[in-house]
Amino acid sequence: MPVPMSQPYILSKPHPYGMSLSFALAPLADPDKAMHRLARGFESDWGTLAIGEPLTRKLGHRIPGLRIFPAMSAPGAGVPSTQQSLWILITADSQAEVFDIFQKLSHLVQPDFLLADSIPTFIYNGRDLTGFEDGTENPKGAKAAAAAVVAKGPLAGSSFVAVQRWMHDLKHFGTLTPAKRNAIIGRRHDTNEEIENAPKSSHVKRSTQEDFEPPAFMVRRSMPFVSGAHMGLEFISYVAALDTFEVMMRRMAGLDPDGIADALFTFSRPVTGGYYWCPPVRKGRPDLRI
């Protein structure tokens, strides 16, 4: 039997263009047939495919560690849950290719899945739309694999992913002085150097991976988006266990004992949130035998 491998765009950077899609299972769909079609038809070079707890529940199965994304609430820092059954990130070298893959994917998932949400994404020179570098603390090589991919057991080769859409108020962010912007992020915009005495509310201070026990290492493959007047970051974080992301999100939301929320919330807010399981790949197809 072929050795399971992780889906290619978990440990490799996505192409410059993408589309983040979430789907609900249609009310009259046969979940077993839907999974069979996905397993036979989805090509791993299209992007990343992941399934949510609502779908596994319909199948009568349980993926250890998979759960519904928890809504969180703290003063000035709401974190919503918009959990769906299926999430797919298309990634390609051009918008035309993204469209072509989307057309193929639409034929594959219909009528079993209903499109609940979509957003076109792109790579912005390795930066968030604020102009700050994104993914600076991503582990590399074997450390990335250890952080993002289940190493052994029945789930070997698979990953979990947390997906959130952060909506930025760039107009407000643009009114701030460079010093205030740097203080929010905890890094200097021009050099990406971490500010040693940054405020405790800075993003760096709230999300330093080594500050958690155990360390909360994850592989971020986030992509910016612009849709009309709405713009921000489609936050995509691959982990070997969802607890890794959740402890960090709780700290960012101000739910740690110190009650300090991440300063990101002063100009940005999450409007979606979902947890999904990314099956391993065998022979170029997702292994959906659960």
Residues 196 and 188 sit within 8 Å (Cβ to Cβ)? no
Residue 272, classified by CB atoms within 10 Å of its CB into exposed (0-12), middle (13-18) or buried (19+), is buried
Q: What single DSSP character describes residue 13? A: P
Active site residue 32: no
Strands (E), the chain: 17-25, 47-51, 86-92, 113-122, 159-168, 219-220, 223-227, 230-239, 268-270, 274-278, 281-282, 285-286
Report how far apart, in Å, the C-alpha atoms of 168 and of each of 34, 202, 271 are.
Answer: 36, 16, 10
Among 134, 190, 256, 262, the active-site one is 134
* Residue 59 CA neighbour count, 13 Å, CB half: 20
Residue-level length of the chain: 290
Distance CA(178)–CA(195), nearest Å, equals 13
- In the block, tokens 């050795």 appear at 3
Distance CA(84)–CA(81), nearest Å, equals 9
* Residues annotated catalytic, as ranges: 134
